[in-house]
Structure 1
Amino acid sequence: MVTMRDVSRAAGVSSATVSRVLTGSAEVDPATRQRVLDAVRQLDYRPNLVARGLRRQVSQVLALVVTDIENPFYTAVCRGVEDAARLKGYSVILCNADRDIDKEREYLRVVADQNASGVVISPASAQNTDIGALVARGIPVVAVDMPLEQAAGSVLVDNRAAAAMATRHLLAGGARRIACITGPSDNATASDRLDGYMRALHEAGRPVDPELAIYSNYRESGGYEATNRLMDLADRPDALLVTNNRMIVGTLRALQSRGVSIPDDVNVVSFDELPWALELHPHLSMVRQPGYLIGQKAAELLIERLASPTTPQHIVMEAELIAKDGRARTPSSAI
C-alpha cells in the first residue's frame, strides 16, 4: 500500500509538507504543492482520512461541486443548497471546478476519500465528468444544470423550452436574422439551448443558418469573440440569443466597441441574471432560471436519498423570460 512517506520521497519533500498540502492546514509554495499533487496522482495515493481523524465525527457534511462560482446563477444554487442542508442539520463544503475536468476530478477524489454523506454537482461535462468512484463507495450524487448517468437524481431547467421561448420573443419583436451564441459543444446544457433556438426557428418557418449558431466557452472572452464574428458577417444578425450571463458581458463589450445600439441595431436576449442587468437602459430581456430553488430542491432530494434510498428522481423546472417591459413570461404564457 502506498504511504505518505512514498509520496514525500517521490515529490522530494517532507512528510509534514505532504500532510500540509493534503489537509490545507498551512500555506505551501504553489510549485511544491503541485509536485506533491503530481506524486499523489502518479502513485494513486489514498490517504486514510478516517484513521487520521480528519473525518468529521458529529457534523453531517454534504459536498457541493460547482462549475463556475463567479457565475451568479451558481451562487444562487449554492445558497439554496446551503439553506436547505442547514435546516436538516448538514454542513456544506464548496468546491469550484472552474469548468476544468482535471480540477473537478481532483475535488471528486477528495470528496470520496473524506466520505462525504452526499454530493450535489453541476458537472463540467455530461460526457467526461466521472462520479463512478463516489457511486462505488455508496455516496449518492444529485446533479444540477445537466444530467449525469449514475446520479441518484437531478434538478434541471427545461433548457430547450427556455431557449425556444427566448427565440419566439425575438421573432415577435420583428427580428429577421437571429443568432445564437451558446456554450461548449460537449456541454449538454449548451446543446439543449441551441436545439431550442433551432426548434423555434423551424416552427416559425425560418431557415437555420449555420453561420448564426456559434459554440463558445461560457466566458466573457467567448461572448466577445463570437459577437465580433457575427458582426463581421456580410448579412449580420439583427438579434442575438446569448445563452450564458458571463458571455453577455463580452457581447455587450463587443457591441459597444462597434457602436452597435440595442435594440435599434440589434435586439438581445440573455440567459440568467446579472445583478446590474436591470439597470441598463434600455433594459435587456433575459431568461431567468430559478437558481435558488434548484439548489434547494437538489439538497432536499439528496437528503431524502440518504434517509431512504429510492429510485432516482429527476425534476425539471421552468425558466421565465423577463422582457424589457419588466413582465415575466413562462413557456406556457410566452408569445
Structure 2
Amino acid sequence: MVTIDDVAKRAGLSKSTVSRVINDYPHVSIKKKEKVFEAMKELGYVPNSSARSLRNKKTQMIAVLVPRIMNPFFGQLAESMEIQAAKHGYQLLICQTMYSKETELKHLELLKMRQVDGMILTSIENEWDVVKEYLSYGPMILCNEFEEEATIPTVKFDQIHGGYVATKHLIRQGHKKIAYCTGGQKSNVGQHRRRGFNLALQEYHLSFDERYGFYDAFSIEDGIRIFKHIHQMPDPPTAVFTGSDEVAAGIITGAKEYGVSVPEALAVIGFDNQVITKLMDPKISTVEQPIPFLAKRAVEVMVDRISHKGNDQEVYEYPLELIIRESTVSPIRAVE
C-alpha cells in the first residue's frame, strides 16, 4: 500500500509539507503543490480520509484553462473572468495548457484533488472521453471552445455566422481568390468558422483553392510567414480571412515590408476585434467577439453549477458582429 511517506519521497518534500498540501493548508507554494500532485498521480495515492473531509469544503477558487495567455483573446478573457469571479467571491487560477494534452491532464488533477471548486475550459486538447472522467470530482463548463458530445454547459459565440459574414464581406468587395488562415483544424471553433467561410463561397458559387489554405497560424510572426508564402505564389489570393487579429496584423506587416498595398493588392480581415486592429495602418476589419460579455456569462454559469443549479447540458450561444475598417475597403473595388 502506498503511504504518505512514499509520496513525500517521490516528491522530494517533507511528510509535513505533503500533509499540508493534502489538507489544503494555506501558504504552500504552487510549485510544491504541483510536485505533490504529480507524485500522488504517479503512485496512484488517494488520501481517502482527507478527500472525505475536503469533499464539502469550498476553496472559493475556480480554475480557467487557456491554451496561451499571451494570445490577446485569451488574455482578455481571463482578465474579464477574474473581474466577474471577484464579484461572486471567487478567485481565479489561470492554467496554461500550451496546446499540450499532458499539461491539460495535469491541470485537471486540480479538480480531482479538490484544489478548486470548478473548472472553465476555454479549449480542449484531449478527447472528450478522457476529459469527462473528471466530472465526478467537480463541475466543469466550456467557454469559447465547444464539444458536440459534451455533457456540461457551454457558453460560446456563433462561429459559423462569424466566418460567413467575414467571407461574404470580402466577396462583396469583389474578391474571388480568398485565402483561409486558422490556428488549427481540430478545434471546433475553427471548424465552425470554416463552415461559415464555405457557406459564403457556396452562396456566390465560388470554389476554394487548397493552395490558399494556411494552418497552425496563431501569432504576428505566423502572419508574416504566411504573407511571404503568398507573395511568392505565381497566382496569389487577393484577400485573406484570418482566425485572429494577431495573424492579420502579421500579414499586413509583411505586406508593408515588401511594398504590397493593403487593401488594394491584398485585403485582410481579422477575428476578435482586439486593440491591435485600431493601431495598425491600415486599421483592420474584423469580427468582434464581445469578450467581457462571454466572460460574465461563463462565470455566472460556473457559479450556478458549483451551487448545483442549472442544466448540465445547456448551450448558450451568442451572435458576432462584423466591423468594417480600412484593411478590406478599397476605392478601386466594388463597395457594399
Task: Report the TM range for the smaller structure's normalisation.
Answer: 0.7 to 0.9
2:72 and 2:33 mapped to 1: Cα distance?
30
Q: Render the CA deviation track for 1:199-226: whole Å, top value 9, x for unaligned.
A: 1111111111111122224234433333
| Contact 2:58 2:117 (C-alpha < 8 Å) held by counterparts | no
| Aligned residue number for residue 222 of structure 1 | 222
Give secondary structure in 2 for the equivalent of 1:62: strand
Amino acid at match of 2:266: V
Aligned residue pair count? 323
Amino acid at match of 1:186: K
Q: Shift in Å at residue 59 of structure 1?
A: 5.3
The verdict on how the C-alpha distance between 1:46 and 1:225 changes in structure 2, with shifts beyond 3 A counting, is: farther
Q: Shift in Å at residue 46 of structure 1?
A: 4.5
| Aligned residue number for residue 332 of structure 1 | none
| Aligned residue number for residue 71 of structure 1 | 71
| Contact 1:231 1:237 (C-alpha < 8 Å) held by counterparts | no
Give secondary structure in 1 for the equivalent of 2:270: strand
Amino acid at match of 2:145: M
Q: Shift in Å at residue 165 of structure 1?
A: 0.6
The verdict on how the C-alpha distance between 1:249 and 1:281 changes in structure 2, with shifts beyond 3 A counting, is: closer
Consecutive unaligned residues of structure 2, counting only runs of 5 or more, are 328-335
| Aligned residue number for residue 329 of structure 1 | none
Q: Which aligned pairs between 1:1-335 and structure 2 lie closer than 5 A? A: 1-10=1-10, 15=15, 25-26=28-29, 39-46=39-46, 50=50, 60-125=60-125, 127=127, 130-137=130-137, 139-148=138-147, 149-305=149-305, 306-324=307-325
| Contact 1:77 1:296 (C-alpha < 8 Å) held by counterparts | no
Q: Shift in Å at residue 290 of structure 1?
A: 1.2
CA-atom RMSD, angstroms? 3.4
2:28 and 2:34 mapped to 1: Cα distance?
16
Q: Shift in Å at residue 27 of structure 1?
A: 9.1
Give secondary structure in 2 for the equivalent of 1:110: helix
Q: Render the CA deviation track for 1:213-261: whole Å, top value 9, x for unaligned.
A: 2222423443333333333221001111111233334323432333222
| Contact 2:242 2:271 (C-alpha < 8 Å) held by counterparts | yes
| Contact 1:158 1:318 (C-alpha < 8 Å) held by counterparts | yes
Give secondary structure in 2 for the equivalent of 1:131: helix
| Contact 2:246 2:276 (C-alpha < 8 Å) held by counterparts | no
The verdict on how the C-alpha distance between 1:242 and 1:325 changes in structure 2, with shifts beyond 3 A counting, is: closer
Consecutive unaligned residues of structure 1, counting only runs of 5 or more, are 327-334
The verdict on how the C-alpha distance between 1:185 and 1:195 changes in structure 2, with shifts beyond 3 A counting, is: same
| Contact 2:59 2:116 (C-alpha < 8 Å) held by counterparts | no
The verdict on how the C-alpha distance between 1:182 and 1:309 changes in structure 2, with shifts beyond 3 A counting, is: same
The verdict on how the C-alpha distance between 1:163 and 1:150 changes in structure 2, with shifts beyond 3 A counting, is: closer
Amino acid at match of 1:207: S
Give secondary structure in 2 for the equivalent of 1:240: strand
| Contact 2:248 2:284 (C-alpha < 8 Å) held by counterparts | no
Kindly report structure 1 stretches of 4+ aligned residues shifted beyond 6 Å: 16-24, 32-38, 51-56
Q: Shift in Å at residue 54 of structure 1?
A: 8.7
Question: So what's the TM-score if we normalise by structure 2?
Answer: 0.82
Percent of aligned positions with the same letter in both sequences?
Answer: 25
The verdict on how the C-alpha distance between 1:109 and 1:311 changes in structure 2, with shifts beyond 3 A counting, is: closer
